C-alpha cells in the first residue's frame, strides 16, 4: 500500500546515504564468511527464532529491491565523491564484519540503476573504476547477472529484433 511505499523510499534512501545502515542490513541477512564456512563444514543448522527469520526475510527483500545508488544526491544527480566515500566506509566495515563478498554482490546489484555519466558514458566513471579493480571481480559477475535478470522473462523472437537491438546497445556501451 501507499504507506509501505513511503517506508520503502525512506529505507532506499537510508541504504544509499548511510553506510552503517547498509552494513547493519548485511549483518542481518548474511553470516560472516568464516562462520558460514564452519557451519557448512560441520553440516550444522543455523537456528533462528521466528522473529529473526522474519526480520532477515524483510531485510533481504529490502536489499533485493534497493534501487537508489549510493552517491545519488537530493536532486537525483550522481556525486562521485559521495559515492567513493560511501564505498570506502562500507568496504572497511564489511571487511571487519567478514562480509566483504556479500557487500560487493549487493552493491553490484544496485549499480545497474546507476545513471549515465555527465560526459555521456553509460555509467558514472567512479562506478566503472570500482568494478574494474582486480579485487572486485565478483562485483562484475554480480553486475552482469543483475543486468541480465533485469530484462525479465524473455520470449523467443524469431526475427531476433529485440536481441539484435540489445546487442547493438551493449556494443555501443562497451566502446
pLDDT tens-digit series, residues 37-92: 777 766 666 677 889 889 999 999 999 999 999 999 989 899 999 999 999 999 99
* Contact indicator for 130, 139 with CB cutoff of 8 Å: yes
Average pLDDT over residues 23-50: 82
Determine the 3-state secondary structure of 45 from DSSP.
coil
pLDDT at 171 over 50: yes
pTM: 0.80
CA separation, residue 68 to residues 15, 32, 37, 39, 75 (Å): 8, 25, 31, 33, 12
Separation between Cα atoms, residue 24 and residue 28, nearest integer Å: 6
Separation between Cα atoms, residue 174 and residue 136, nearest integer Å: 19
Cα-flanking dihedrals φ and ψ of residue 154, to 5°?
-115, 140
pLDDT tens-digit series, residues 129-164: 998 888 878 888 888 888 877 766 666 666 767 767
Amino acid at each position: 500500500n501507499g504507506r509501505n511505499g513511503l517506508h520503502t523510499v525512506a529505507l532506499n534512501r537510508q541504504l544509499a546515504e548511510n553506510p552503517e545502515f547498509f552494513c547493519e542490513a548485511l549483518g542481518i541477512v548474511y553470516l560472516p564468511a568464516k562462520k558460514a564456512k564452519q557451519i557448512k563444514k560441520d553440516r550444522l543448522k543455523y537456528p533462528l527464532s521466528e522473529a529473526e527469520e522474519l526480520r532477515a526475510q524483510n531485510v533481504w527483500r529490502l536489499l533485493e529491491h534497493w534501487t537508489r545508488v549510493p552517491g545519488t544526491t537530493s536532486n537525483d544527480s550522481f556525486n562521485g565523491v559521495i559515492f567513493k566515500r560511501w564505498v570506502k566506509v562500507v568496504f572497511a566495515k564489511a571487511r571487519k564484519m567478514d562480509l566483504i563478498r556479500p557487500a560487493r554482490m549487493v552493491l553490484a546489484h544496485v549499480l545497474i540503476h546507476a545513471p549515465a555519466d555527465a560526459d555521456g558514458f553509460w555509467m558514472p566513471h567512479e562506478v566503472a573504476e570500482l568494478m574494474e579493480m582486480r579485487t572486485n571481480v565478483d562485483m562484475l559477475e554480480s553486475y552482469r547477472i543483475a543486468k541480465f535478470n533485469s530484462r525479465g522473462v524473455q520470449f523467443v523472437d524469431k526475427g531476433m529484433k529485440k536481441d539484435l537491438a540489445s546487442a547493438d546497445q551493449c556494443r555501443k556501451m562497451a566502446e
